[in-house]
Structure 1
Amino acid sequence: MEGGGGGAEEEEQVMSEVHLGCPPHFCGLHVSRFSFSSRALGASEDDGGDGSCGGELIAAASGSGGLSDAVAVDEDGDLVLDRRRRRNKHVRSDYHLLTIQHGVTSSLKSVGLQVWKAALLLADFVLHKSFTSSYFDGVTAIEVGAGTDRGADILDNCLANVRINSGTLKFDEAKVCVRELDWKLSWPPPVSTCDPSDPSLRYLWSAHEIDEAEKATVLFAADVIYSDDLTDLFFDTVKKLMSSGAKKVLYLALEKRYNFSLDELDVVANGYAHFRGFFVTQDEHGDAIHGDKPGFVGKQIGLAEIPQYIREYERGNDLEIWEIMYSPEQKLR
């Protein structure tokens, strides 16, 4: 992201709890491994994942895009050797590693470079559905971003992570597109009419891709609830996308964030309250899907229904995941 000039104060840096244990002053991007298998944690766990950023730090990329060829160094500048792990005879054959290139700290404008707990909860949800049902088989899904997933640095990093994991997770890179979705422009996004091979235009949409997106049946979002203004823009974009083409369902994971309110003289989650004002629950709405109530209807999915497959995070009580539907016949707030 563009930095301030002319002696402007350096932007405040924030760190995801997922990155605790990483060297906080490292410049560039780290690569961490997140481990999972088809059995949830607690069901015959084994050694094999590190559980923190420190031991799983394997490389650094100073620019946008893929991994650099430079050797990794620790916070003191000493060489980090990538030692082969001694295989534990009890390690499960269905054990997998998800490799994520990410920032350790970032400004608020660049939080899309970090990994947040809500994203790992959403990954657990997708893994559980995939391991136990055919619910996601053959679907077209759209991950609608974190509000700040704009600009070449963040989008290049998204693309790098697609490429890093395609071989290990055995998916076709050609079926995964990284595109910029500016919530301020809402849906549909601008269409590229220029040479698609131009690197500066690589994240613009084609008309065909917009058509395919509107045929999607599943939307994903994680950790998009932290700014009331962005929440407004998010739901406006989602409303228009869910009103187009096939019927869609949104799975949204979030972490409640609390702060002290001088108005209320208490610690409150105002951003969360603003988010909840956009939809009613199924209990509040009743069994009827149509009517004169707001167009979004949500159902909270209990965390007890989602086993934890990914080792390297602690859920806590502030994580939630919601299933949200939208009916265009209803009125939006």
Structure 2
Amino acid sequence: MGPQDTPDVMDDEDHQISSEIYEEVDYSSPRKPTFNPCYVVSRFEFSMPEGIAVMVDADGDLIVPRKKSHCNKYVDIENKKSTVLGLVGLQVWRGALLLADWLIHNSKNIPKGAHILELGSGVGLSSIIASMFSPVFCTDIDKGDILPLIKHNVEKNKHIVQHPIEVLELNFNSETLPPIIVEALPNIPIIIAADVVYDDSLTDAFMSTVCKLLGPSGARSIYVALEKRYVFTIADCDSVAPCYEYFLQCLKQAKGIKSEEVALDFPQCFRYDRVKELVMWKLSKA
């Protein structure tokens, strides 16, 4: 999840937000924070499904062993436990874990030699998982030390990183894409994003970026994992998910973009509550 340049409410110090995942599972790690003493280190343990083991040969190609294997691994992420709305990318949210599950399950479908691009990467968890299977462009806005923190977390997880992770800024509000992304786009068939739908202004900027990424020639898809956030409104006399509904409205209005909901019937590798509010969408050129 990546903080972007939106109105002042995003930086209201009186309104701190905390991810629910820490109320569900003990993610304590024996490692201490080294990027910022006020942060914590969260350990996200996961199991590789049978038939998927991460090994590479001398050329960097994936080796899938014939014998089935079931191995336990972990990712250590330095992060904050609570932030203002504009810096929620410094935390880990359920959508990132859902996206990580999807990446592991679909790892065999990643084209050989292709790159993966992550938008709004936050603390880098999903990109680190993606790097087990493919080189990654890990992007977010350069705010709140988010980019240096991602690089720090990449270094912290060298034990599972199998391919290069290039960390760079991609601001949804920018009129242009970073030149390095434009150049690499023909070799980026898979783009991922988690937990980027929580503010309508940010959603507008995100959809503008989606159009820029899907516009150029070439077959590529954007996978967006998020959690519907319900609130009770007197006007509706019901619980509604306004930010999610606005996102759906943007999808319907987006010209030249095909959107389809992804079935969440793939195995769960990480420990978290896969609540019914979690959803994933696939966006591609119509």
Q: Does 1:163 align with 2:124?
A: no
Shift of 1:245: 4.6
The answer for the alignment partner of 2:168 in structure 1 is: 179
Quick one: distance in 2 between partners of 1:180 and 1:208?
11
The answer for the alignment partner of 2:43 in structure 1 is: 33
Quick one: distance in 2 between partners of 1:222 and 1:98?
17
SS at the partner of 2:71? coil
Contact in 2 for aligned 1:22/1:104 (Cα 8 Å): no
The answer for the alignment partner of 1:227 in structure 2 is: 199
Give the aligned residue type for 2:285.
Answer: Y
Give the aligned residue type for 1:271.
Answer: C
CA RMSD of aligned residues (A): 2.8
Q: Does 1:110 align with 2:87?
A: yes
The answer for the alignment partner of 2:117 in structure 1 is: 142
Quick one: distance in 1 between partners of 2:173 and 2:12?
27
Point out where structure 1 has 5 or more consecutive residues left out of the alignment.
2-7, 41-91, 190-206, 281-291, 328-333
Q: When you count strand as a share of all residues, which structure comes out higher? A: 2
Quick one: distance in 2 between partners of 1:223 and 1:310?
17
Shift of 1:102: 1.0
Shift of 1:324: 1.2
SS at the partner of 2:106? helix
Point out where structure 2 has 5 or more consecutive residues left out of the alignment.
4-10, 29-35, 51-68, 123-139
SS at the partner of 1:263? coil
Deviations 1:126-154 (A, max 9, x none): 01112xx3435432111011697431511
Deviations 1:71-93 (A, max 9, x none): xxxxxxxxxxxxxxxxxxxxx86
The answer for the alignment partner of 1:296 in structure 2 is: 257
**What's the TM-score once normalised by structure 1's chain length?**
0.63
The answer for the alignment partner of 1:57 in structure 2 is: none
Provide closer, same or farther for how the CA distance between residues 277 and 10 of structure 1 changes in structure 2, counting only shifts above 3 A: closer
**Which moved further from structure 2: 102-111 or 113-122?**
102-111
Quick one: distance in 1 between partners of 2:238 and 2:70?
50
Provide closer, same or farther for how the CA distance between residues 263 and 29 of structure 1 changes in structure 2, counting only shifts above 3 A: same
Among all aligned residue pairs of Structure 1 and Structure 2, give the percentage whose two residues are the same amino acid: 33
Shift of 1:266: 1.9
The answer for the alignment partner of 2:281 in structure 1 is: 322
Deviations 1:36-82 (A, max 9, x none): 12228xxxxxxxxxxxxxxxxxxxxxxxxxxxxxxxxxxxxxxxxxx
Quick one: distance in 2 between partners of 1:223 and 1:143?
12
The answer for the alignment partner of 2:104 in structure 1 is: 127
The one of 303, 307, 312 aligned to 2:267: 307
Shift of 1:228: 1.0
Shift of 1:229: 1.0
Shift of 1:247: 2.3
Quick one: distance in 2 between partners of 1:264 and 1:27?
44
Q: How many residues align?
A: 233
The answer for the alignment partner of 1:59 in structure 2 is: none
Shift of 1:9: 7.7
